């Protein structure tokens, strides 16, 4: 019954979205505030209706209502509650509902905004309504999460165990809050084109939406990256996988948008480019959703669904993005863009930032799509992998980071580069020291990585120098410095934080990539292996039971060079009976900045190799590795600690070789890897701090209000 | 046995966790050759996996490919010879770095074009926009003061 009510609510939301678009368009055309008011009401109603549908789906998952197809395919009674809830957006259908929830939610907030001028708001609410109708229509007709099964199964198929993870439970909501946040910017951009007016006030209005979307997207991508890092068990945090790229492209474009919107807001320049980015960011978000959900790309995060839906999603992408870009091509030439600035100026620096970010987006876009295009055109499948992305992307982002501190110190309109560089002498010195020290002290030597470290230091100290400059540190009396520090707008703090964040990330990425260490050995009980300065000793292995899995858990003692205990690592191999999948549980021993990362691999029966892992393989080891792994899992090993009565999965344990079994242990030392995740989080924090800026809270400053006066009089 | 086999297949197809690349049982005796082989692994795609190099993948095919590369490294064949051999067997798809060819040129030219167009726009902009009359030092100082107070 609740499901039917949810179903009804979703259909109602579709109708309300259409009404939202219709009323707003009619109201805009007739300049009738009652009609546009009805459109705004419909926008809020659509959100409420979608929220009800979403609540119904959550309810179905929590109560394990397997008569709902989506629940039967993605849930299981034995799954912990948090993953039952997260399962609601773990599937394609559920994630589309989450998407629509965000889309109507942002739309409702925009509809409630009071300070937007009449025409712009009506057009934007109409655009948002059209977007809502497209996506909700797709969900209701082609991808309905609340469809029933004629004959419900007794038990569900469960969620992919790799997805049963706290970081991944939170990853899609943040990611979608980011993706879909750009929909408001898209709508406001389309509305600005319709109204034929892009001014500093408009740039100010898109700022909070851009900041919110960008911050959420940053958090979402970081969570996804962290999930891949500790869940996939390969020790890396970014693989340039198509699905990762799909989320990275809107982020890059959103970053460009934040910077170009600053130029439009302060100087009225780059108006048409900012509008194009506003349309582009959501276009890339939709494309990301299409690429991920249509299954056209080969990715480790395989979400493959049936191609018919892919075609529909492509259609939606074509209509929405095509509409936005056509509108742009038609109306953008009418936008005025008169502000002058010298190439060496804040505007010029932000322009350079945008050129490089646009080129970086092009790298990711072309690299992700070319394999598809090539195989469609001439049938030659090619691969574009990490080696291409690392070099090309690095070549574009490095100059952007080199220019960043100086650009932030240039004055608007016409800057004085030598003066800006003079203020950066401390940062330059620190960077030079960092490069020299890294190059001479860290082995094996790597000039490239040393330069990466130098770049990170340069950006961090540059951001601090810029903040010091703002508060006139060492130049004015302390009292004045204090007054200025307190008076500094949150937006300025946010910018400083975000720039420090990218510097921190550069430090971590350079160091980790260049100097991570790896070791793999087949260890018998009590044997040790060495990794960097650490010693790992396999203490024991036990068979244990989780809520919905059976695990073979290794207990490994990690000690540092002085023999002090670092941690007891407990990596495991889990067999999820519901889906029949085996997953490695990674154990991570964190230090201040580093991780010791341990994965336990397959068990090998037979004679123990001498000296902690020689070249020979014993009896069971000659089996194909997966079969051996399963054999190992099904075998209740001798002396195992049994927590719960073991449900016998398969036959009796094999009798031979148990006493000399070895376990493949793989370990990584990932130095400074915490910077890799902390950097983006600092950036997101910067975005959120900016978002709390008083000038944004009150939406319009006196100056902007003055700029608005003609529009209001219209 | 049937169940075991099926689970094994699911395991191989779905999870393929982590590197067996450094499996001690498979390593080459010479550490320099082994290290060299591993740098090659990073550029070779595991063909049956989704988007992984054979350095990362646990799939049986990835292991076969690794052994193939190791054997050729041990024979002293050059990197280009090994890559050419892999391409002749599996096609361009097997290499993660696309080769420089006409069809792939856009990979490098596309971003370059974006930079070129952007820089051209920045420069032509300067030409069309009238250069504002230069300010005298006093005005310059006043402007600087103003623009510094005007924060982002």
Average pLDDT for residues A391-419, to the nearest whole number? 92
Q: Which of B23, B91, B152 is nearest residue A491 as measured by Cβ atoms?
A: B152
Contacting B residues, span 93-152, partner chain A, CB-CB under 8 Å: 93-98, 103-104, 106-108, 110-112, 114-115, 118-119, 122-123, 126, 129-132, 143-144, 147-148, 150-152
d(CA A83, CA A62): 9
**pLDDT of the residue at B126:** 54
Question: Binning pLDDT at 50, 70 and 90, where does residue B22 land?
Answer: low
- Flag if B110 and A366 touch (Cβ within 8 Å): yes
CA distances from B124 to A695, A714, B117, B128 (A): 35, 35, 10, 6
- Provide CB contacts within 8 A for A296, sequence distance 6+: A307, A310, A372
User: What separation in angstroms does the CA of A656 have from each of A63, A604, B9, B147?
Assistant: 46, 11, 24, 81
Mean pLDDT calculated for residue range A124-133:
96
What are the residue ranges spanned by the domains of chain A? Answer: 1-164, 170-413, 423-516+672-714, 521-670
The C-alpha atoms of residue A103 and residue A129 are separated, in whole angstroms, by: 9
**Contact B96/A388, CB-based, under 8 Å?**
yes
Average pLDDT over residues A450-458: 96
ipTM of predicted complex: 0.78
Q: Percent of chain A beyond pLDDT 70?
A: 87
Q: What is the per-residue pLDDT for B17?
A: 40
The strand order across the sheet containing A587-590 reads A517-524, A662-670, A595-604, A587-590
pLDDT surpasses 50 at A698: no
In the prediction, which pLDDT does A306 show?
Answer: 63
What pLDDT was estimated at residue A649?
Answer: 45
Residues A208, A184 contacting (CB under 8 angstroms): no
- Residue A93 is predicted with a pLDDT of 87
* Residue of chain B with shortest Cα separation from A358: B114
Chain B contact present for A354, CB below 8 A: yes
| CA dist A227 → A168, A220, A232, A235 (Å) | 6, 10, 8, 11
**Average of pLDDT values for A123-137?**
96
CB contact under 8 A, A630 and B11: yes
Q: Does the beta-carbon distance from B112 to A359 stay under 8 Å?
A: yes
Asked whether the predicted pLDDT for residue A630 surpasses 60, the reply is: no
**pLDDT the model gives residue A713:** 45
Q: Residues A596, A558: contact at Cβ < 8 Å?
A: yes
Phi, psi of A561 (to 5 degrees): -60, -35
Answer whether residue A635 shows pLDDT above 70: no
Burial of A709 (0-12, 13-18, 19+ CB in 10 A): exposed
Kindly state the average pLDDT of the residues A478-498.
88
In whole numbers, what is the pLDDT of chain A averaged over residues?
84
Residue of higher predicted confidence among B1 and A136: A136
Q: Which residues contact A88 (CB under 8 A, 6 or more apart)?
A: A54, A57, A58, A61, A94, A97, A98, A145
Q: What pLDDT shows up at residue A277?
A: 95
Kindly tell me if the per-residue pLDDT of A661 is higher than 70: yes
Say which of B63, B107, B147 has its CB closest to residue A370: B107
Confidence of residue A658 (pLDDT cuts 50, 70, 90): low
Whether the CB-CB separation of A605 and A588 falls below 8 Å is answered with no
Does residue A650 sit at the B interface (CB-CB below 8 Å)? yes
- Comparison of pLDDT for A663 and B3, the residue scoring more: A663
Residue B150 pLDDT class (50, 70, 90 cuts): low
Which position has the higher pLDDT, A108 or B101? A108
Mean pLDDT score, A520-546: 89
Distance in angstroms (rounded) separating the CA atoms of residues A52 and A58: 10
Beta carbons within 8 Å of A594's beta carbon, 6+ residues apart = A669, A670, A671, A672, A673, A674
Top-confidence range, A224-238, A316-330, A544-558, A638-652: A316-330
- Please tell me the least confidently modeled range out of A350-354, A397-401, A592-596, B13-17: B13-17
- Which pLDDT belongs to residue A518? 86
pLDDT higher than 90, residue A478: no
CA distance A698 to A704: 11
What does the DSSP 8-state code read for residue A653?
Answer: P
A595 sits in which H/E element:
strand A595-604
pLDDT above 90: residue A497: yes
Residue A368 has pLDDT above 50, yes or no: yes
In this predicted structure, what is the pLDDT of residue A605?
75
pLDDT of residue A680: 97
d(CA A332, CA A336) in angstroms, rounded, equals 9
Q: What is the pLDDT of residues A184-208, one digit of tens each?
A: 999 999 999 999 888 888 999 999 9
Smallest CA-to-CA distance from A597 within A614, A611, A584, A583 is with A584
Full set of structural domains in chain B with CATH? 2-94 (1.10.8.640), 106-149 (no CATH)
DSSP track, A420-474? HHHTTHHHHHHHHHHHHHHHHHSSS--HHHHHHHHHHHHHHHHHHHHHHHHTTTT
Distance CA A211, CA A686 (A): 9
Answer whether A355 sits within 8 Å of B115, measured CB to CB.
yes
Test A614 with B7 for CB contact under 8 angstroms.
Answer: no
When pLDDT is cut at 50, 70 and 90, the band that residue A364 belongs to is very high
Confidence of residue A289 (pLDDT cuts 50, 70, 90): confident
| Tokens standing for residue A665 | 């242990």
Max avg pLDDT among A377-381, A400-404, A599-603: A400-404
pLDDT at B130 over 80: no
Where does the pLDDT of residue A296 fall: very low under 50, low under 70, confident under 90, or very high at 90 and above?
A: low
Tokens of A224: 């996804």
Residues A244-266 have pLDDT tens digits of 899 999 999 999 999 999 999 88
- B 10-69 → A contacts, CB under 8 A: 10-12, 14-15, 17-25, 27, 29, 42-43, 45, 49-53, 56, 58, 60, 63
* Residue A584 β-bridge partners: A573
**For position A210, what pLDDT does the model report?**
95
CB distance A573 to A585 below 8 Å = yes
Q: Which H helix or E strand runs over B39?
A: helix B31-41
Under 8 Å between Cβ of A169 and A88: no
Please give the residue of chain B at the shortest CA–CA distance from A522. B24
The predicted pLDDT at position A657 comes to 57
From B132, which residue of chain A is nearest by alpha-carbon distance? A340
Confidence of residue B53 (pLDDT cuts 50, 70, 90): confident
The two structure tokens encoding residue A196? 């034929």
Rounded-to-5 percentages of helix, strand, coil across chain B: 60, 5, 40
How far is Cα A271 from Cα A153, in angstroms, rounded to an integer?
A: 57
Least-confidence region, from A55-69, A302-316, B133-147:
B133-147
Quick check: A388 and B150 CB within 8 A?
A: no
Residue A104 has pLDDT above 80, yes or no: yes
Q: Could you tell me which of A287, A210, A212 has the C-alpha nearest to residue A242?
A: A287
pLDDT score at A138: 93
Q: Is 0.90 surpassed by the pTM of this model?
A: no
Helix axes A673-691, A490-515, angle to 10 degrees: 170
Q: Quick one: pLDDT at residue A696?
A: 62
* Interval A611-621 mean pLDDT: 35
**CA–CA separation, B30 and B70 (whole Å):** 11
The pLDDT assigned to A179 comes to: 94
With bands split at pLDDT 50, 70 and 90, how would you rate the model's confidence at A640?
Answer: very low
d(CA A582, CA A602): 11
> Which residues are paired to A536 by β-bridges?
A529, A558
Cβ–Cβ contacts within 10 Å for residue A150, how many?
6
When pLDDT is averaged across residues A469-484 and rounded to a whole number, the result is 84
| Residues 470-509 in A contacting B (C-alpha not used; CB under 8 Å) | 470, 488-489, 491-492, 495
The DSSP code sequence of A530-592 is EETTEEEEEEEEEEEE-SS-EEEEEEEEEE-TTS-EEEEE--EEEEETTTTEEEEEPEEEE-S
* pLDDT for residue B129: 46
What pLDDT is recorded for position A137? 95
User: Which range, A497-511, A562-576, A621-635, B43-57, has the best average confidence (pLDDT)?
Assistant: A497-511
Is the pLDDT score of A622 beyond 50? no
**Position with higher pLDDT, B5 vs A571:** A571
The per-residue pLDDT for A644 is 38
User: Rounded distance, CA A618 to CA A660, Å?
Assistant: 9
């Amino acid at each position: 019954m609740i499901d039917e009510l949810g179903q009804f609510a979703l259909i109602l939301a579709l109708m309300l979205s259409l009404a939202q678009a219709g009323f707003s368009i009619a109201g805009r055309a007739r300049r009738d505030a009652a009609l546009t008011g009805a459109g705004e009401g419909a926008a809020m109603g659509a959100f409420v209706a979608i929220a009800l549908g979403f609540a119904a789906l959550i309810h179905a998952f929590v109560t394990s209502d397997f008569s709902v197809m989506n629940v039967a395919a993605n849930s299981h009674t034995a799954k912990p509650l948090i993953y039952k809830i997260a399962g609601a957006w773990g599937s394609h259908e559920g994630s589309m509902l989450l998407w629509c929830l965000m889309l109507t939610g942002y739309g409702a907030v925009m509809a409630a905004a009071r300070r937007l001028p009449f025409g712009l708001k009506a057009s934007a609410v109409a655009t948002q309504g059209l977007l809502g109708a497209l996506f909700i229509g797709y969900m209701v007709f082609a991808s309905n999460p609340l469809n029933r099964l004629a004959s419900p199964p007794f038990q569900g198929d469960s969620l992919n165990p790799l997805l049963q993870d706290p970081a991944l439970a939170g990853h899609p909501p943040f990611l979608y809050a980011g993706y879909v946040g750009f929909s408001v910017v898209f709508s406001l951009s389309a509305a600005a084109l319709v109204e034929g007016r892009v001014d500093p006030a408009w740039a100010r209005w898109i700022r909070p939406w851009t900041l919110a979307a960008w911050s959420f997207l940053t958090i979402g991508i970081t969570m996804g990256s962290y999930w891949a890092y500790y869940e996939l068990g390969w020790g890396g945090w970014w693989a340039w996988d198509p699905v990762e790229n799909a989320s990275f492209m809107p982020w890059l474009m959103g970053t460009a948008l934040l910077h170009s919107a600053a130029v439009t807001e302060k100087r009225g320049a780059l108006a048409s480019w900012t509008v194009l980015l506003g349309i582009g960011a959501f276009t890339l978000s939709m494309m990301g959703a299409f690429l991920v959900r249509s299954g056209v790309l080969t990715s480790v995060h395989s979400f493959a669904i049936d191609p018919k839906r892919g075609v529909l999603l492509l259609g939606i992408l074509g209509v929405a993005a095509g509409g936005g870009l056509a509108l742009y091509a038609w109306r953008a030439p009418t936008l005025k863009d008169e502000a002058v600035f010298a190439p060496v100026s804040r505007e010029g620096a932000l322009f350079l930032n945008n050129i490089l970010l646009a080129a970086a987006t092009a790298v990711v876009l072309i690299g992700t799509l070319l394999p598809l295009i090539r195989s469609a055109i001439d049938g030659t499948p090619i691969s574009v992998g990490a080696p291409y992305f690392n070099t090309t992307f690095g070549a574009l982002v490095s100059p952007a980071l080199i220019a960043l501190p100086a650009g932030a110190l240039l004055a608007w309109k016409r800057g004085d580069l030598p003066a800006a560089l003079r203020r950066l002498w401390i940062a330059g010195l620190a960077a030079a020291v960092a490069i020299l020290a890294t190059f001479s002290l860290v082995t094996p030597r790597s000039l490239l990585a040393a330069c990466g470290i130098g770049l990170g230091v340069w950006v961090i100290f540059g951001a601090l120098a810029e903040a010091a400059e703002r508060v006139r540190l060492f130049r004015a009396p302390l009292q004045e410095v204090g007054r200025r520090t307190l008076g500094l707008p949150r937006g300025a703090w946010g910018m400083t934080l975000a720039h420090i964040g990218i510097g921190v990330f550069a430090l971590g990425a350079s160091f980790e990539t260049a100097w991570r260490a790896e070791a793999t050995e087949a260890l018998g009980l009590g044997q040790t292996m060495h990794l960097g300065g650490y010693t790992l000793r396999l203490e024991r292995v036990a068979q244990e039971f989780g809520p919905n899995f059976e695990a073979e858990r290794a207990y490994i003692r990690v000690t540092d060079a002085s023999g002090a205990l670092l941690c007891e690592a407990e990596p495991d191999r889990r067999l999820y009976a519901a889906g029949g999948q085996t997953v490695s549980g990674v154990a991570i021993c964190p230090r201040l900045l580093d991780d010791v990362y341990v994965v336990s691999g397959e068990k090998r029966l037979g004679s123990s190799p001498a000296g902690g892992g020689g070249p020979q393989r014993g009896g069971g080891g000659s089996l194909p590795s997966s079969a051996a792994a399963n054999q190992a899992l099904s075998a209740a090993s001798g002396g195992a600690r049994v927590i719960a009565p073991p449900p016998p999965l398969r036959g009796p344990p094999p009798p031979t070789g148990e006493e000399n079994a070895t376990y493949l242990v793989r370990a990584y030392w990932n130095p400074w890897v915490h910077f890799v995740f902390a950097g983006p989080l600092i950036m997101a924090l910067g975005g959120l701090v900016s978002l709390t800026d008083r000038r944004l809270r009150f939406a319009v400053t006196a100056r902007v209000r003055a700029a608005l006066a003609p529009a209001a009089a219209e | 046995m049937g169940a075991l086999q099926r689970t094994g297949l699911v395991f191989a197809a779905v999870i393929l966790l982590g590197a067996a690349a450094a499996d001690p049982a498979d390593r080459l005796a010479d550490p320099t050759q082994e290290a060299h082989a591993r740098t090659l692994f990073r550029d070779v795609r595991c063909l049956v996996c989704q988007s992984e190099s054979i350095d990362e993948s646990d799939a049986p095919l990835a292991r076969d490919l690794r052994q193939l590369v190791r054997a050729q490294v041990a024979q002293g064949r050059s990197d280009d010879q090994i890559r050419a051999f892999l391409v002749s067997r599996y096609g361009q798809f097997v290499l993660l770095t696309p080769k420089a060819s006409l069809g792939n040129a856009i990979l490098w030219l596309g971003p370059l074009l974006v930079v070129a167009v952007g820089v051209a726009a920045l420069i032509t902009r300067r030409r069309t926009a009238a250069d504002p009359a230069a300010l005298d030092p006093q005005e310059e100082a006043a402007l600087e003061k103003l623009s510094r107070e005007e924060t982002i």
